[in-house]
Structure 1
Amino acid sequence: MERSSLPDRLRGLALVAAGGFAGATSRHAVAVAAPAPELGTLAVNVAGSFALGLLLDAARRTDAVSQRTRLLLGTGFLSSFTTYSAFAVETAALAPRWAVANVVANYALGFLAVVMAGLVGRWTA
């Protein structure tokens, strides 16, 4: 496999950084708007899973998604928009019954969102 040139790697880094900034600020906006922290985290994790599912399904099926787009949106924006660390901390602070419900909701709905994104991708193709 051929190694990228320094300018190409720096462009990739800039794309990830720009996407990360936009994802992190969007994540913060959802957290501020949510009625409870756990609901904001659940919302971004499910929405981010769906969006990443759409992006990666399109990348797998077509040539329409460039490497730069995957870096900007997938690695940058969506990985900063979704959050495992907040999910873990918020879950640990909940009563046991609610902690289990939060884990089940995040994983089940996140997985369902990825599956639905694949279906939507095939339906719109």
Structure 2
Amino acid sequence: MNLILVMIGGFFGAICRFSIGEWIINNNGFPLSTFFINMIGCFILGWFLTFANQTNKVKPAFTLMIGTGFIGSFTTFSTFSVETLHLLQKGLILTAILYVFASTVVGIGLAYAGHKLAIIKKEK
């Protein structure tokens, strides 16, 4: 049953990722679509896992479907890595460094913001 839940979440996460990726235009070599998608995923996962762990309202199966399935297929470390490699191969060294730095720092910051938002919501 867990495999089916991950597949369902993954199906919808992949569709959302593809749709948003088609909507956002990459600019000047910077992979804006992947960056934006991954940042949304960091925030949502930070919020969702904190909320799920602090309340007993979210069943573990649902956490698996959303966290592993949906967010796991929505975000993409492999595309981030390959895009960084392509930037380096094109000689866009500063863009590659900015992409890695921004993805890491902003991603952790947004995961933390999502985490804090879940805590604030719980306390109200």
Counterpart among 67, 80, 104 of residue 101 in structure 2: 104
Amino acid at match of 1:119: K
Shift of 1:65: 1.6
Instruction: Among all aligned residue pairs of Structure 1 and Structure 2, give the percentage whose two residues are the same amino acid.
Output: 34
Per-residue CA shift, 1:55-75, capped at 9, x if unaligned?
110122111121111111001
1:69 aligns with 2:62: yes
Trace 1:1-125 onto structure 2 (pairs within 5 A).
Answer: 11-36=1-26, 38-94=31-87, 95-125=92-122
For normalisation by structure 2, the TM-score amounts to 0.89
Secondary structure of 2:31's counterpart equals helix
- How many residues get paired? 115
For normalisation by structure 1, the TM-score amounts to 0.88
What is the root-mean-square deviation in Å for CA atoms of aligned residues? 1.1
Looking at structure 2, the residues matched to 119 and 53 of structure 1 have their Cα atoms a distance apart, in angstroms, of 8
Which structure 2 segments of 5+ residues have no match? none
Per-residue CA shift, 1:4-45, capped at 9, x if unaligned?
xxxxxxx11111001001111111111111111711111111
Structure 1's consecutive aligned runs of 4 or more residues displaced over 3 angstroms after TM superposition are none
Which structure 1 segments of 5+ residues have no match? 1-10
Q: Is the 8 A contact 1:55 1:65 kept in 2?
A: no
Secondary structure of 1:65's counterpart equals coil
Shift of 1:96: 0.7
Secondary structure of 1:64's counterpart equals coil
